[in-house]
Structure 1
Amino acid sequence: MRTAYQYKLRPTTKQAIDIDRWLSMLCAQYNYLLADRFDWYERNRSPINACPLVCHIPELRDNPDYYSQKKTLPQLKKTHPWYGEIYSQVLQDIVKRVKVTFDRFLKGDSNGKRSGRPRFKSRDRYRTFTYPQMKDGCLQGNLITLPMFGIVKVLKHRPIPDGFKIKTASVTKKADGYYLTLSLEDTTVPNIKPDFNADSITGIDLGLKEFLTTSEGDVVSIPQHYRKSQKRLRAIQKRISRRKKGSNRRKKAIKQVAKQHKKVADKRKDFHFKTVNNLLKKYDVVVHEDLNVKGLSRSMLAKSVHDAGWSSFLSILSTKAENAGLLVIAVNPSGTSLDCSSCGVKVPKKLHERWHSCLCGCSLDRDHNAAIVIKNRAVGHPVLKAHRVSVRVASPPGEAIAGFGEKPTLYCTQSV
């Protein structure tokens, strides 16, 4: 199992200057290697419908792949001796970054989805360098030894779990200082809990009026961190527009905006982790909608969707549940707000209508009804079958479902 812990660094003034210089040199090398790839791409591509009958075919270049670009690094240190102060594996990681970026542009990722044309990075946008390998015992107390850089102080706010080994280390420059990200590996794989409590399965409905509503009727309010900080952001952004481009006062104002945005992001992330922690303490299985968050973020509700951070929340929920040996299941989101949780009939509702009322007598909050429908859709799910967890359809509070006679219950069978 792999996990990542992030700590804040406390470098000396000289070390902070060295980090900035390393980032500047690595940025220049990244842009050079990317330009070399683009040069090969432009020379070797020739659309058939654009080629004249008589044409001169230029001499084709060999593809600058990962290994050929890696072989240029010793020569780089001869022609540019100042690159010799950077650890060799950090330079090799730049070649890997360029390879991954360009391959996604040409071939796509594992799902075949291609990204846009890679962009050259300015010094302000290149903020991280990585050590692909770290020695055992590199972190002693609140000090970490970075090869060819030195010993740097770390604010170790939480200990590394027993049995985990440090595999990689990344140094990142952010608006409020420098951070160290350690990638940790544990050879043991968490197993799914062999027994599930029948009362610890819930469905959650994510929303913009309330952040989420569970099938038991519990509600988590939405904090709206970005909207609450808009007044402060507006004031700082006005300072930027009024100051001369390139001046030190403008740079200070830009840094203030960056710090404010980071503060909002940190608050949102902290809220997500605490919400996930509360859910997984109470339930063994969490069922949610398989939302197209990217599509929703392009709608008229884009600002509210981004402020809620659904995608980040669901990612954290899945990761934390897997580490704890619990289950998170995504179901089809189609019609969850319209279907009646009691009889299954579609009850058309506009977005502003927040109460669900059906002819069968089911009357409850719209989000609560949707959460129950989401939970009911987990019935017979392949993941639950694989772990021998059986779920019967849950009815709304105080209601009976047609065909059952009385309020059904949930049950589970212990897996062997």
Structure 2
Amino acid sequence: MERWLDMLRCQYNWMLADRFDWWEMNRTPVNVCPLVCSIAEPREQPDYYNQKRSLVSLKDERPWYKEIHSQVLQDMVKRAGKAFDRFVKGDKNGKRSGKPRFKGKNRYRTFTYPQAKPDWIDGNRIKLPKIGAVKFIQHRSLPDGFALKTVSITLKADGWYVTFSLEDKSVPSQLVETIVPTVANSIGVDAGLEYFMACSDGTMKPPPKFYRQAEDKLAKLQSKRDERGLGSKSRRKLNERIAKLHQRIARQRKQWHFETAQELLDKAEVIFVEEIKVSNMSRRNKPKQGEDGVFLPNGQSAKSGLNKSFADAGIAGFLNEILPFKAAKAGKMVVKINPAGTSQHCAICLNRVPKKLSDRWHDCPHCGASMPRDVNSGVLIKKVGLGHRLTIKRESGATRRRSPRCTAKRSA
């Protein structure tokens, strides 16, 4: 199986490079090319079908590729096509991905049988075509009424895993009934770093910081690994220990996310969360350059620690994947709202109360409300989700923000 992965990786890189070569030479029409540009020889655009036909000649030129099952090879071609099309065309929503990278050693870890059959599974063994019967641990039996579609074999840090893809057309893909949000059946959740979640009912839960807890152990293993020679057996074993530790941290975080999502779903039927983009919040600071051309400190050293905390908390995965998945499975709803103003207004009187990021307590000078900043945001998120509008009509003219253009017009 390791040999299969290595051969599939090499052919994946070749097919991706073939697509890149055609795209670089043919993405501009001939009548708008610069005169100094060399015109490429016209050839057919690489796609799934002509690259799949090339597998016949590949097996003639390199007979060792005959060891791999034909459908596994075809699935590799489909993977290369999807990676390239998402970069050039985008997905169904028009969102484009980054430029796909060539797979290095140990970066291609999965191969798939796209047309699996139920008779492959015989007790605690699975019969993989061209590999044979492989013993596996079946943590739960396959449910009745589902059709077995694909079988994927994945190499992870602690061994090989088999994943079954099932289909039952009678199961609805989405909820038919919609839940009407009310004050009684809904809750607002503010996600952050000081408290992973602060709910509108006043409950707060700090992040567990699994990576921070294992950071010292990781540092020791990495320092020990760097002392070993490149390509040595001891260095490879230390790399395996580091990979297993990273895998353990990821699994701890994921398990904690699922438990936290279940706690929220036990409280309400509708959960309001902010529609935030964590990738923008964890972006690197822009460089600062002085008049003499020398780069000045831009605060990136402190920002790096904040970015590590964002990655350790896993807010994006929780809000975008785990919580909606658990809610759909339980027949409940997750509604995302616009986060504008949810940290700068009072949850009781809705007046604007400006706060810096370092201000972690909310004290309203208008109504006297006093509570943690994150809880105030959680209550505001729920109110905005239920249709309340955050207004600044009650704000005095002295504290209201005005643009320089308006100030210039007023002074003129």
Q: Which piece of structure 1 moves more, 229-238 or 124-133?
A: 124-133
1:318 equivalent in alignment to 2:324: yes
Q: Which residue of 2 aligns with 1:65?
A: 47
- Please give the TM-score of this superposition, normalised by the length of structure 2: 0.82
What is the deviation of 1:339?
1.2
What does 1:111-130 correspond to in 2, within 5 Å? 111-130=93-112
Deviations 1:216-242 (A, max 9, x none): 111222100111111001001101221
Q: Which amino acid aligns with 1:90?
A: V
Deviations 1:148-200 (A, max 9, x none): 22222222223434443332221111111111222222321153567678633
Q: Given that residues 111 and 153 in structure 2 are in contact (C-alpha distance below 8 angstroms), is that contact kept between their aligned partners in structure 1?
A: yes
8 Å contact from structure 1 (residues 215, 368) kept in 2? yes
Question: How far is 1:57 from its partner?
Answer: 3.4
Deviation string, structure 1 residues 114-140 (Cα, Å, up to 9, x no partner): 333332212311111111121134334
Mapped partners of 1:42, 1:194: distance in 2? 48
Letter in 2 for 1:353: D
Distance 1:342 1:44, change over 3 A: same
Q: 8 Å contact 1:317–1:328 — kept in the other structure?
A: yes
Which residue does 1:404 correspond to in 2? none
- Which of 259, 265, 273 is matched with 1:274 structurally? 259
RMSD of Structure 2 on Structure 1 (CA) = 2.3
Q: Secondary structure at the match of 2:334?
A: strand
Report the CA distance between 1:322 and its aligned residue.
1.4
* Preserved contact between residue 179 and residue 332 of structure 2 (Cα < 8 Å): no
Instruction: Tell me, yes or no, if structure 1 residue 209 matches structure 2 residue 194.
Output: yes
Query: Residue in 2 aligned with 1:342?
Result: 348
Report the Cα distance in structure 1 between the residues aligned to 2:57 and 2:68, rounded to whole angstroms. 14
CA separation in 1, counterparts of 2:348 and 2:177?
31
Q: Distance in 2 between matches of 1:137 and 1:287?
A: 45
Task: Provide Cα deviations, 1:358-390, integer angstroms capped at 9, x if missing partner.
Answer: 12122212111111100111124xxxxxxxxxx
Contact 1:31 1:121 in 2 (8 A): yes
Out of 220, 228, 231, the position equivalent to 1:246 is 231
Return the offset for 1:304. Answer: 0.8
* CA 1:139–1:336: 2 relative to 1, 3 Å: farther
The 2-side partners of 1:152 and 1:326 are apart by 40
- For structure 1, list consecutive stretches of 5 or more residues without a partner in the other structure: 1-18, 381-391, 394-416
Task: Give the 5 Å matches for 1:64-213.
Answer: 64-187=46-169, 188-189=171-172, 191=175, 199-213=184-198
Match for residue 222 of structure 2 among 237, 242, 250 = 237
3-state SS of the aligned residue for 1:233?
helix
In 2: Cα distance, 1:84 partner to 1:351 partner: 61
Task: Report the CA distance between 1:288 and its aligned residue.
Answer: 0.3
Q: Could you tell me how far 1:321 is from its partner in structure 2?
A: 1.1
Distance 1:44 1:24 in 2: 31
Q: How many residues align?
A: 363
Query: Which of 382, 387, 390 is equivalent to 1:375?
Result: 382
CA separation in 2, counterparts of 1:50 and 1:72?
A: 30
- Cα offset, 1:258, TM superposition: 1.2
* Structure 2 gaps, min length 5: 285-302, 390-412
| d(CA) in 2 for partners of 1:216, 1:40 | 58
**Does the aligned pair in 1 maintain the 2:112–2:150 contact within 8 Å?**
yes
**TM, length-normalised to structure 1:** 0.81
Picking from 294, 307, 310, the partner of 2:312 is 307
Residue 259 of structure 2 is aligned to residue 259 of structure 1: no
Do residues 51 (structure 1) and 41 (structure 2) align? no
Residue by residue over 1:314-367, the C-alpha shift from the partner in whole angstroms, topping out at 9 and shown as x without a partner, is 111111211222110000111211211111111112223222111212221211
CA apart distance, 1:283: 1.7
Check if 1:331 corresponds to 2:314: no
